[in-house]
Amino acid sequence: MAETMNALDLLARDHREVEDLFTQYEATTDTERKTEIAHQVVHDLAVHGEIEELRFYPRLREVLDNGDALADEAIEEHLAIKNTLNDLDSMTAEDDGFDDRMRELMAEVRHHVQEEEGELFTGLRQALDEEELQTLGEKLERARSMVPTRPHPGAPTSPGAKAAASPPVALIDRIRDAIRNAGD
Ligand SMILES: [Fe+2]
């Protein structure tokens, strides 16, 4: 892939893609399309959150003085997001409260993105050079194909515990994705 693997660019690109899906959601009244967009958002954010927890926050803890505090806060925000994603995952736009959940998600994600791209990205940009950011980006990209693709609010957030718990979950998620995609 010719694209940059700079970790911060890669995560920011994920953020822009989800924001774009939010914009598409807000622009449609078609319930089938709304469901489709929401389930894409669920998938994309589940994967994004997993790779951050697995590879990004641990690095943050290593290199920033306040890395532990920043990572803990981000993981707490992830939990709120995962809970909302989990609700949306089992709903369709025909269900009562779907729009409300989606609006809640947008607010949570916009807040999280702002925090992440602010203090957190700024700190890492100062602490790591371009080569280190590239290496981290490559690790994030590699993790993408291995992590669970659905929200699991009760699952462990530390890399060690994930290594043990995630693989079977990731496999089942991909089977569920295949079934859902076949139905769409
Ligand atoms: Fe993020």
Q: Which two tokens stand for residue 36?
A: 């489709």
How many Cβ atoms from other residues are within 10 Å of residue 44's Cβ? 16
| Fold of the domain built from segment(s) 7-183 | Four Helix Bundle (Hemerythrin (Met), subunit A) (1.20.120)
CA of 96 to the centre of ligand 1 (A): 28
Which of 71, 24, 17, 6 has its CA nearest to residue 43? Answer: 17
Q: What's the CA-to-centroid distance between 74 and ligand 1, angstroms?
A: 9
- Residue 23 pLDDT greater than 60, yes or no: yes
pTM: 0.92
CA distance 95 to 18: 22
Q: For 28-64, how does the pLDDT look when each residue is reduced to its tens digit (9 = 90+)?
A: 999 999 999 999 999 999 999 999 999 999 999 999 9
The label of the residue with tokens 């992440």 reads 116
C-alpha span between 163 and 161 (Å, rounded): 5
Compute the average pLDDT of residues 14-41.
Answer: 97
Indicate if the pLDDT at residue 164 is higher than 90: no
User: Domain ranges in the chain?
Assistant: 7-183
User: Given a cut of 60, is residue 2 above it in pLDDT?
Assistant: no
State the distance from the centre of ligand 1 to the C-alpha of 11, rounded, in angstroms.
6
Separation of CA 76 and ligand 1 centre (Å): 13
**Average pLDDT over the chain, rounded to whole?**
93
Q: What is the pLDDT of residues 131-160, one digit of tens each?
A: 999 999 999 999 999 888 988 888 888 888
State the distance from the centre of ligand 1 to the C-alpha of 51, rounded, in angstroms.
Answer: 9
CA–centroid distance, residue 110 to ligand 1 (Å): 10
pLDDT at 184: 63
* Residue 168 confidence (pLDDT) above 90: no
Give the chain as a DSSP string. Answer: --S---HHHHHHHHHHHHHHHHHHHHH---HHHHHHHHHHHHHHHHHHHHHIIIIIHHHHHHH-TTHHHHHHHHHHHHHHHHHHHHHHHT--TTSTTHHHHHHHHHHHHHHHHHHIIIIIHHHHHHHS-HHHHHHHHHHHHHHHTTS-SS--TTS--SHHHHHHHHHHHHHHHHHHHHHHHHH-
Give ion ligand 1 contacts, CB < 5 A.
116
pLDDT digits 0-9 by tens, 91-127: 999 999 999 999 999 999 999 999 999 999 999 999 9
The whole-angstrom separation of Cα 115 and Cα 50 is 18
pLDDT at 71: 95
